[in-house]
Structure 1
Amino acid sequence: MGLFECVGLVYIFGCVYACVSVWAEPQRQTLLKNLMSLSAGERAHHLRNTPLSLSEKCELRYDNILTLYSGWQGVLSLLIYLHIWQGALKQVSSRFGTGVLSYFLFLRTLLLYNIFLSVIVILFLVLPQVIHGSSQSPNSISFTGFDILTGTGVLTNSLLFYGYYNYTEDKSCQQGNKSGSYMAGPYNIQLAYLLIIGIGLIVTCIALVYSVSKMLGENFQNFKSHGNIALKVFSCWDFKVSKKTSAKLQSENICTQLKELLCELGCDKPKQNALFRLHRLATHCFAWVACLGSTSCSVLAIYYMSTECFHFHEQCWETFVGQELYRFLLMDMVFAVLYTIFGEFVWRLISQEVLKRKRKPIFDIARNVLDLIHGQTLAWLGVLFMPLLPAIQSVKLLFLFYMKRVSLLNNCQAPRKSWRASQMSSFFMLLLWCPSFLGAAACVVYTMWRCPSSTCGPFRTLPNMFPSVRGLSSNWLSWAYTCLVDNPLFLFITAGFFLLLIYIHTQAVDGQKRIIALLQEQIENESEDKKFLIAKLQELCDQEEHS
């Protein structure tokens, strides 16, 4: 029975129970309420000792079951809502294969990471700021629609950016002494700001390490496709499927999986000579050097322009960086929309209506995934300067999911070369962890060590962000600060432990792969031995007949 059929039955049971509740006697209602407050064993014992007829006891037991079912009605409705993406992902997998499916699974994983960061930031940074208010003067700038695109204007002094989070006043700062501690106020914004961002990044790092180790282990599994093809052909159909739409979806899914398995059988590349491989390696090295060189030059140019032309250490440079990252994130979404419109929708119209071709544009998995990684890097990099940037990234990912799904189903076709979801997902997660997350986390930690702005923000009276934790006496946070910041060996040990965990997991799965290969070789040798013995027996029989 499917989920919707269960919900239908629950709805019918709820309606029946409502009718019974209207016409039931008050004594029965009281008895039913008392039964609902008991456990299952106590409920049966109480019914057994109640002076009622057998039919009335059965009716009460039935009403009790209906009440329990009606209580789960809201929960099942929520499950239906949560299964919307599951149905959409099944449709994508059946029509376009697991390679395209891996893009949407990757997008959903990024959405979960951003929702986690958004929730803890809103609960422990934004809400305290709203409750306690700001010590800054009211914003007299009028709001314009252009401010949403640039993050400037009235949005500069808002909850979006770092400079607004300074609602507590420090007496030493008012007296001109900027070296004093900043612990006054009903809520320690310094400690909250540092801990929330630090805990969010640490939990994200642990989740990424676990995902990378798990997916790399699955990617190392090497099962031969011959048996999988036989299983798909002869025993993969679900005979409980009765609806035409479900049967069509399952048949498309099986056909797509067979194409992937057949592609794996024919994907053996011919051996290449050493000269060709050397030329290919040199080309890749030149491309990497060119990309890294251009990126380094761009970073140096931006740094020179920011230090020589704009003159920050007078305005809040953290808010300025947050505005730049906010604009980058918006432009990333704008280019994704433009590529979807012109690169997929308009090109499909030109290809089919003007060029009279039946083929549609191919869904570029690599390009779309790199766009997701680029946007997520901006979100992790800007969480220090713009705490609500992960929330904006979550909204962007929701919009991208539905836009890309509609464009995929109407404008695109599956890639010519099929890829397995395990291979693609492991590669995507590896790129997301290194260099995306590690690079963003390194920049955030480096910024925490730098001198913050002296005119805005919760750390405006400190040389950097970490002394806010060091100032806590007799606290486990001081010990954690000493281990994490004052002792770099702890960081190296932690990073080595994560790398060792990934290595052990991949080696364990690699050992399983070798055992499977040896067992398959043993089975093949046994079959060859059986063939040899049968041939010898046949020769002996033929000799006896001739003799």
Structure 2
Amino acid sequence: HPHQFRPKRGAKLDRWQQPLVAIRALGFSGGPLARCGPEGPPPLLIGLFGTGIQSYFTFLRFLLLLNLLTLLLTAGFVLLPLVWLRPPDTGPSLNFTLQCPGGLQPQTGVPRFHNQLWNVLTGRAFNTTYLFYGAYRAGPESSSAYSIRLAYLLSPLACLFLCFCGTLQRLEKELPQRLFLGQDYRSPVSVKVFSSWDFCIRGQEAATIKKHEISNEFKVCLGEGRRFRLMQQQTRTQRACHLLTYLWVNVLIGLLVVGAISAIFWATKYSQDNKEESLFVLLQYLPPGVIALVNFVGPLLFVFLIQLENYPPNTEVNLTLIWCVVLKLASLGMFSFSLGQTVLCLGRNKTSCESFGYNACDYQCWENAVGEELYKLSIFNFLLTVAFAFFVSLPRRLLVERFSGSFWVWLDREEFLVPKNVLDIVAGQTITWMGLFYCPLLPLLNSVFIFLTFYIKKYTLMRNSKASPRRFRASSSTFFFQLVLILGLLLAVVPLGYVVSSIHSSWDCGLFANYAAPWQGVPELMALRLPPSGQRVLRYLGSHAFSFPVLILLSLVLTVCVSQSQANSRAIQRIRKQLVWVSVRWAGEGSHLAPERGLRGGALVGAWLLSGGGTVGAWSLASRRRGAWPLGGAR
């Protein structure tokens, strides 16, 4: 609560405490940054929908912070020096003669009826701004003390590295809890019954939210115990049937993924090969539309098929998330490959490709063309979020409330699917990382989208959604969310590294117009700025003589890490056994010492909590000192 950071009246703060108190007070009034911090989303959402929603909103906040950090690095090291130093122009472009069938094609290919709004949606209105790669210009490296080219090249790499470190840190933070709370560990329900209530609650609204939260926790705990007992009681025939169901469900899901990837490939190819058609306005958004359709229908089918396997909610969410990750990342990977085939002539032979390494006849500034495609993907994903919130979920809720009947009872309100929503924001973040080189200010756009998505999802949850009958824990999903984010980061790094190191830059736009590849500017800068001794050191670091000691050192570090992990696993097993032993001993001593009246009161408390409770009064701190349960039994 923000009041806990306020100093006492009359207390004096030194000069080090005053900024800290001010920053904390500002953070607690900062909208979603405050309400969806590491402690969780608004308590009302946790009480109504369970702790699984907490992982989603915490993940939103983490992605917002990553985008703001990326934007700060890009603006500080590239944009501000470029505006402040005003480096000289590069001069005339490289002279060449390009033989194209039918003459040199214009880059835009935009029909006359394109208006300004459509130009904004496709990104063409910002082609000459710092949003895209083509607007960044710089003179020779020897003309300025600050290298804009090196900053532009290393800033995305630094951003990706920091994002990887931040995600890995959160992944490492969640890993011990996931290892400790394995499937074979069950905490006693009696501990939750006798220690869940907070006697410091004063208001009626807070008490109601707390009752919902405790009720949801009991539903999760009892559901896990029931499924665990059913699994232990399965016969061989039932296990064989379960295995067959598992096989045909996963084969069917795999075929759906292959079909979706094929549709995305042909849609991207058709859109790029028919740029001069009269329906080019619709073809612009054909690949994003197909990707959105695939990623909307796919998770719904995955949820339905995986429920046939009768897994626990945690496992069900994680399996759905895994298949959604495969579908989403494979969609983006196939989109990138198809775009590379058209723009960079990967696997194709053309006259312009043989001369310049890319399709110079159709794409004079291919970096801008790729940036526009990623820009359109980002815009389209956010527009879909808005459209489904206000044109699908809202009318569905109004129709269900307005009409009665068996069909409307079956339809009901929308159920908030955490895997689908997480994959949507992970896909948007992956697109942002893929576009750091082509569209440096795309993190600014994604930050705005994430900020607005927080309020849109909050409105959808509070007004249009219903609580899922299958509850799951936040801790089990947070680990997978971070793992999915790392996979998206790797998907963005691989094509970006290939483009920077191997693909020829455009001949008439951008910072690397006269370079065979963007990375070629790094050796040139080293030759100009570093002394001979520094150049020899860098050459040694990139040689085979340095790689072998590094491999040996990494092998030793990996051996130590594996040994430490095995030791930690053995320690976790011992701690689990100690917890079970202590809980059994505590329960046995309590059964001998507790009077019959106290046991009856504890049973009534458990039934009261599971049923949602009745009217709750306002208990103060004094009630805790009296040592009373709400029904007056002994603890």
Report TM bin, short chain: 0.7 to 0.9
1:335 is the counterpart of 2:384: yes
In the alignment, which residue of structure 2 is the partner of 1:376? Answer: 429
CA distance in 2, matches of 1:344, 1:491: 55
In the alignment, which residue of structure 2 is the partner of 1:53? Answer: none
Q: Could you say what secondary structure the match of 1:169 adopts? A: coil
Tell me by how many angstroms 1:404 deviates.
0.4
1:112 is the counterpart of 2:164: no
CA distance in 2, matches of 1:390, 1:159: 13
Matched to 1:149, the amino acid is: L
In the alignment, which residue of structure 2 is the partner of 1:4? Answer: 3
CA distance in 2, matches of 1:301, 1:260: 44
- My pick for the range that moved more, 330-339 or 196-205, is 196-205
In the alignment, which residue of structure 2 is the partner of 1:511? Answer: 570
Tell me by how many angstroms 1:382 deviates.
0.2
Counterpart mapping for 1:242-391 below 5 A: 242-268=202-228, 269=231, 272-273=239-240, 274-294=243-263, 299=334, 301-306=338-343, 307=345, 311=360, 315-355=364-404, 359-391=412-444
Tell me by how many angstroms 1:74 deviates.
3.9
Structure 1 residues 509 and 148 mapped into 2: Cα distance closer, same or farther (>3 Å)? farther
> 1:269-310: per-residue Cα shift (whole Å, max 9, x none)?
555314334333433443444445555665465444435797
Counterpart mapping for 1:156-171 below 5 A: 156-166=127-137, 168-170=138-140
1:121 is the counterpart of 2:121: no
Structure 1 residues 477 and 163 mapped into 2: Cα distance closer, same or farther (>3 Å)? farther
Tell me by how many angstroms 1:393 deviates.
0.7
CA distance in 1, matches of 2:144, 2:250: 60
Out of 452, 459, 463, the residue aligned to residue 516 of structure 2 is 463
Structure 1 residues 312 and 94 mapped into 2: Cα distance closer, same or farther (>3 Å)? farther
Tell me by how many angstroms 1:158 deviates.
0.7
1:77 is the counterpart of 2:129: no
In the alignment, which residue of structure 1 is the partner of 2:611? Answer: none
Structure 1 residues 281 and 333 mapped into 2: Cα distance closer, same or farther (>3 Å)? closer
Out of 184, 209, 222, the residue aligned to residue 143 of structure 2 is 184
Q: Could you say what secondary structure the match of 2:42 adopts? A: helix
Instruction: Report if the CA contact (8 A) 1:225-1:264 is conserved.
Output: no
Instruction: Report if the CA contact (8 A) 2:89-2:139 is conserved.
Output: no
CA distance in 2, matches of 1:496, 1:335: 47
Counterpart mapping for 1:16-31 below 5 A: none
Structure 1 residues 476 and 516 mapped into 2: Cα distance closer, same or farther (>3 Å)? farther
Tell me by how many angstroms 1:129 deviates.
1.9
Tell me by how many angstroms 1:72 deviates.
7.3
Instruction: Report if the CA contact (8 A) 1:360-1:412 is conserved.
Output: yes
1:394 is the counterpart of 2:447: yes
Tell me by how many angstroms 1:500 deviates.
7.7
In the alignment, which residue of structure 2 is the partner of 1:102? Answer: 55
Structure 1 residues 440 and 184 mapped into 2: Cα distance closer, same or farther (>3 Å)? same
Out of 392, 399, 404, the residue aligned to residue 457 of structure 2 is 404
1:437 is the counterpart of 2:476: no
CA distance in 2, matches of 1:213, 1:5: 29
Same amino acid, percent of matched pairs:
23
CA distance in 2, matches of 1:441, 1:69: 41
CA distance in 1, matches of 2:564, 2:467: 33
How does the TM-score come out when normalised to structure 2?
Answer: 0.63
Instruction: Report if the CA contact (8 A) 2:5-2:25 is conserved.
Output: no
Tell me by how many angstroms 1:251 deviates.
2.2
- My pick for the range that moved more, 306-315 or 227-236, is 306-315
In the alignment, which residue of structure 1 is the partner of 2:306? Answer: none
Tell me by how many angstroms 1:88 deviates.
4.1
In the alignment, which residue of structure 2 is the partner of 1:209? Answer: 168
Matched to 1:215, the amino acid is: E
Q: Judging by fraction of residues, say which structure has more helix.
A: 1
> 1:5-64: per-residue Cα shift (whole Å, max 9, x none)?
764x76xx5xxxxxxxxxxxxxxxxxxxxxxxxxxxxxxxxxxxxxxxxxxxxxxxx696
Instruction: Report if the CA contact (8 A) 1:152-1:323 is conserved.
Output: yes
Tell me the C-alpha RMSD between the 2 structures.
4.0
In the alignment, which residue of structure 2 is the partner of 1:197? Answer: 156
Q: Could you say what secondary structure the match of 1:187 adopts? A: coil
Q: Could you say what secondary structure the match of 1:267 adopts? A: helix
Structure 1 residues 203 and 79 mapped into 2: Cα distance closer, same or farther (>3 Å)? closer
Tell me by how many angstroms 1:470 deviates.
2.2
CA distance in 1, matches of 2:401, 2:553: 56
- In the alignment, structure 2 segments of 5+ residues that lack a partner are 91-113, 269-333, 353-358, 590-635
Structure 1 residues 148 and 513 mapped into 2: Cα distance closer, same or farther (>3 Å)? same
Matched to 1:211, the amino acid is: R
Larger of the two Rg values belongs to structure: 1
Structure 1 residues 304 and 131 mapped into 2: Cα distance closer, same or farther (>3 Å)? same
Instruction: Report if the CA contact (8 A) 1:125-1:193 is conserved.
Output: yes
Instruction: Report if the CA contact (8 A) 1:329-1:375 is conserved.
Output: yes
- In the alignment, structure 1 segments of 5+ residues that lack a partner are 14-61, 171-181, 531-547
> 1:370-418: per-residue Cα shift (whole Å, max 9, x none)?
1111111100000111111111111110000111011111111122211
Instruction: Report if the CA contact (8 A) 1:209-1:498 is conserved.
Output: no
Instruction: Report if the CA contact (8 A) 1:315-1:455 is conserved.
Output: yes
Matched to 2:424, the amino acid is: D
How does the TM-score come out when normalised to structure 1?
Answer: 0.73
CA distance in 2, matches of 1:323, 1:490: 44
CA distance in 1, matches of 2:555, 2:89: 45
CA distance in 1, matches of 2:559, 2:392: 43
In the alignment, which residue of structure 2 is the partner of 1:447? Answer: 499
In the alignment, which residue of structure 1 is the partner of 2:124? Answer: 152
Structure 1 residues 292 and 102 mapped into 2: Cα distance closer, same or farther (>3 Å)? same
In the alignment, which residue of structure 2 is the partner of 1:179? Answer: none
